[in-house]
Amino acid sequence: MKHFLLFLFILLAISSIAQEKELFLLKGLILSHDSVPVENAYIINYRTYATFASRENGRFNVFVQPGDSMVISHLSHMRKIIYADSVRKNPEIYLELDTVSLGQVNIFQKHVDKVEHMRKNLKAMKFTIIPQPFEPYTESEKMKAFVAEHNNVKKAEATSLKFYNFSVSSILKELFKRKKNKKYSKRHKSTRKKK
């Protein structure tokens, strides 16, 4: 029975080792659409998140397992997802250019007023500026108007008669505050004996 259990344990250990996928060296070549080698393209393995870069001649070497998927990323090319099995069969990988079209730029030899230059560029872009509302007052005029208005409010307060401020909520608040202070003072009695 002991020998049988030992044999069974060894058999399980061997089968688990055999089931592990072995790493192999994957060699590839990254080319642009016109067969020019692409240097510094990043190859990222999705399983391990390991990152590698292609050399100057576009070649790369990566350790992978069968069935691994990777993404190739480059600044001026579109990303491409590849599989280790397909690269093993065909090591050349072609990337498409990722182009960004820029707007027209006008360069003038003579000196042009900056505002006029801006208007020409905006006109070329077919862009309109929404005008801001015009304020007729300067800062000093605004301040004078504010002070005059504020003084009128203070004058009105000074001439009005105030007999007594009466608020039910303020009176109730004062009563509750006094009651609470009484309870608090009763808790802390003196240690002196009363006669």
Is the CA virtual torsion 98, 41, 27, 49 positive or negative?
A: negative
Residues 31-54 pLDDT 10s:
998 989 999 999 999 888 888 899
Return mean pLDDT, the chain: 76
Q: Which domains does the chain have, with CATH numbers?
A: 21-95 (2.60.40.1120)
Structure tokens at 193: 């004996």
Cα 42 from Cα 60, distance rounded (Å) = 10
pLDDT of 19 above 80: no
**What's the mean pLDDT in 6-30?**
72
pLDDT of residue 115: 77
